[in-house]
């Protein structure tokens, strides 16, 4: 968090001109897009790179000797190198492309599953009765359901960290929760509903002390602040392209050197093999082992372009800008009568995703009135229903910010909430 001292070094108004969609109107009002935790908007630079790829370089990857195939392969593998550098991974071969974070997490879950069903597999990935997987109450459903299913398949036990009243991860039972029976800890880096940023240091240290692996869900962190997988010390990290200015359909599982090659394949097919006979196959090393079939090529290229765009701004500057907007929004929202924030109410240790409730007014109604003002927020349980249950609400309204968000947009949100209270008050 040391980089928070860096002031905004870019001109937000100029940057917004790169995002064609931010120029449109919604219901007769200028678009106020406050749903970037759901999916981010895409700058023209990303759209142009993807268009050019299709228009000039389209060929299948890793299997053609012709020029187009070579260009496409270079672009695809170039994107992998950009991803690796972006998260400070030691090698591009540790980056596996998939569809999204959900698929990345499921990939690891099914690798555990397949290893558990095979006699000579790596013991770190073998699960059975008596073994434990640990998650937390603040996870997105994508980091809950795959582990529930894995535990059902293997007989392992699922346990979880609780969340404190002020929206922080409760690590008070760390030594009990993570113990010699634990095989995997999978927790979120930044909560998609509470905005809480978790420092995984203590959990990683404890997990490694007992021989367990750690997966960090970086879906909401990698897009918003510098993430260094080596400094974090985690074993795996999952994130997705569409929340970081890239297209949908491309996600990443990064795995520490040696771990990916110790995992059995999950999807079988073309490109993931070493040799195939009619009886049996052997498999390529990672990352190819986990990329069966034609991958999302142009989507990976688009993600590479998004990373270039973010690097041009600088992730420290992105973080500083969002920190300013978040501080401004927390103060502004505090002036709205009957508004209750779920999660940290100060900008320290939290990101630009703010969930709240207006007393007695359902989030669906809040979101509908805001939409009529051109203000796009998400309403519902945000695929994190256990968090809603934890705070005793069926749903929340969530405003989330990104590099293109302005204080004027926060003002529009607050004005919109005044209208909500007039309609339903």
* Interface residue list for other proteins (CB under 8 A): 27, 362-365, 368-369, 372, 379-381, 385, 388, 394-395, 423-424
Toward other proteins, which CB reaches closer, 24 or 63?
24
CB nearer to other proteins: pick between 23 and 394: 394
Query: Counting Cβ atoms within 10 Å, is residue 211 exposed (0-12), middle (13-18) or buried (19+)?
Result: exposed
Please state the closest distance from residue 372 (CB atom) to other proteins, in A. Answer: 4
Catalytic status, residue 383: yes
Task: Provide the minimum distance between the beta carbon of 22 and other proteins in the complex, in angstroms, as a whole number.
Answer: 22
**Helices 297-313 + 67-86 axis angle, to 10:** 40
Rounded distance between C-alpha atoms, residue 13 and residue 407, angstroms:
11
Q: Cα-atom radius of gyration of the chain, to the nearest Å?
A: 22
CB-wise, 269 or 425, nearer to other proteins? 425
Give the β-pairing of 213-217 and 182-188: parallel
Tell me the closest approach of the beta carbon of residue 361 to other proteins, in angstroms. Answer: 8
Minimal distance, residue 29 CB to other proteins, in Å: 12
Phi, psi of 272 (to 5 degrees): -105, 5
> Nearer to other proteins by C-beta: 16 or 419?
419
* CA dihedral of 166, 172, 176, 178, whole degrees rounded to 10: 70
Say which of 203, 383, 387, 395 is annotated catalytic: 383
Nearest C-alpha neighbor of 233 from the set 263, 264, 199, 210:
199
- Tokens 């420290």 correspond to 316
CA 4 to chain CA mean position, Å: 21
Distance CA 225, CA 356 (A): 23
CB of 344 vs other proteins, minimal distance in Å: 23
Active site residues: 383
């Amino acid at each position: 968090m040391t980089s928070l001292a860096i002031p905004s070094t870019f001109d937000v108004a100029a940057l917004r001109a790169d995002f064609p969609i931010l120029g449109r109107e919604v219901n007769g009002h200028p678009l106020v897009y406050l749903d970037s935790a759901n999916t981010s908007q895409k700058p023209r630079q990303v759209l142009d790179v993807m268009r050019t790829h299709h228009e000039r370089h389209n060929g299948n990857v890793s299997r053609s000797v012709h020029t187009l195939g070579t260009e496409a392969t270079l672009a695809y593998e170039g994107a992998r190198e950009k991803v690796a550098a972006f998260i400070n991974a030691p090698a591009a071969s540790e980056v596996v492309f998939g569809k999204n974070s959900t698929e990345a997490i499921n990939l690891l879950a099914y690798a555990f599953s397949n290893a558990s069903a095979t006699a000579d597999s790596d013991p770190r990935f073998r699960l059975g009765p008596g073994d434990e997987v640990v998650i937390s109450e603040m996870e997105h459903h994508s980091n809950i359901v795959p582990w529930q299913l894995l535990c059902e398949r293997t007989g392992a036990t699922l346990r979880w960290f609780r969340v404190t009243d002020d929206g922080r991860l409760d690590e008070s039972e760390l030594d009990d929760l993570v113990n010699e029976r634990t095989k995997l800890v999978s927790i979120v880096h930044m909560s998609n509903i509470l905005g809480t940023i978790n420092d995984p240091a203590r959990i990683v240290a404890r997990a490694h002390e007992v021989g367990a692996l750690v997966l960090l869900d970086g879906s909401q962190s990698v897009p918003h602040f510098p993430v260094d997988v080596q400094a974090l010390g985690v074993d795996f990290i999952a994130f997705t392209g569409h929340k970081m200015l890239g297209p949908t359909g491309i996600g990443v599982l990064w795995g520490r050197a040696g771990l990916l090659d110790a995992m059995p394949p999950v999807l079988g097919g073309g490109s993931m093999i070493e040799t195939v006979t009619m009886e049996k196959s052997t498999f390529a090393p990672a990352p190819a082992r986990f990329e069966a079939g034609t991958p999302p090529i142009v989507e990976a290229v688009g993600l590479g372009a998004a990373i270039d765009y973010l690097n041009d701004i600088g992730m420290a500057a992105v973080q500083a800008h969002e920190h300013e907007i978040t501080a401004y929004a927390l103060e502004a929202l505090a002036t709205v009568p009957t508004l209750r924030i779920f999660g940290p109410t100060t900008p320290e240790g939290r990101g630009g995703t703010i969930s709240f409730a207006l007393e007695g007014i359902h989030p669906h109604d809040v979101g509908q009135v805001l939409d009529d003002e051109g203000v796009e927020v998400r309403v519902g349980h945000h695929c994190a229903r256990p968090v809603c249950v934890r705070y005793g609400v069926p749903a929340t309204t969530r405003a989330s910010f990104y590099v293109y968000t302005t204080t004027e947009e926060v003002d529009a949100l607050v004005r919109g909430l005044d209208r909500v209270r007039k309609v339903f008050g």
